[in-house]
Amino acid sequence: MREWPSAIADACITDPPYGDTSLEWDRRCDGWVTEVARVLKPTACIWVFGSMRFLATVFGEMEAAGFRYAQDIVWEKQNGTGFHNDRFRRVHEHAIQFYRGAWGDLFRAPQYTQDARAKVVRRKTRPTHTGNIEAGHYVSEDGGPRLVRSVIDVANEHGKAVHPTQKPLGILAPLIAYSVPPGGLVIDPFMGSGSTGIAAATLGRRWIGAELNPDYIALQAERTRQPGLMLETA
């Protein structure tokens, strides 16, 4: 990332190693927030996936780099992990958005679904005391748009993933659509198998990623070998 130009990206969406396990690849990476801050535009945001244990340590780093907490989502997934049989089964991860600059200047495109529940709406009539005694008019309105909820239910990639922590496109796409303008640039310093890039390109956004493991770089090339995908990796 030190070779990337400064102030070029609209957002960072990433899933760093959490350092929660003894697995060889699960080691904390120091200094990545500083480099991301340099590459992002003055008004930009970072979405970070992680366990609560990991994310609790990230707040200080973000504040030191000039970022503030904006909001968080919960990714609800099936077949979660349970390292201990004396705790609730963990079937979720968090993604927290941090931003810098003025909130009003930050690109934000609220996301909607067309599955609002049915509701009954009373259509006003003229009041009866004026001599109008017709029946009140009620209608049922089904569906329609509603803001995407902060708890998002998307199946994980177990059984088909090519990377141990591969994120489904369905959890990445709404974050990219919300935070990156069409044609804008999103970065991911922990690319893994390239899911952030695939989701970004599918939505018409550009992206740049970094990955140390050469095996995963090869997987990225394979997964992103599709017409129209704009691939840039380091």
Which CATH superfamily groups domain 9-110+149-223?
Vaccinia Virus protein VP39 (3.40.50.150)
- Report domain extents, the chain: 9-110+149-223, 112-147
The secondary structure element, H or E, covering residue 63 is helix 52-64
Q: Name which of 81, 79, 92 is nearest 152 in CA terms.
A: 92
Average pLDDT over residues 180-188: 97
Please say whether the beta carbons of 223 and 162 come within 8 A: yes
pTM: 0.80
Statement: residue 228 has pLDDT above 60: no
- Across the chain, mean pLDDT equals 81
**CA–CA gap between residue 144 and residue 148 (Å, rounded):** 12
pLDDT score recorded for residue 26: 64
pLDDT tens for 132-174 read 556 555 555 566 677 899 999 987 766 565 555 668 889 999 9
Average pLDDT over residues 173-185: 97
**CA–CA gap between residue 182 and residue 180 (Å, rounded):** 7
pLDDT score recorded for residue 231: 41
pLDDT tens for 110-125 read 998 877 666 655 555 5
Between strands 151-153 and 68-81, the pairing is: parallel
Show Cβ contacts of residue 109 under 8 Å, excluding neighbours closer than 6 positions: 177, 178, 179, 181
pLDDT score recorded for residue 135: 54
pLDDT score recorded for residue 205: 96
pLDDT score recorded for residue 114: 76
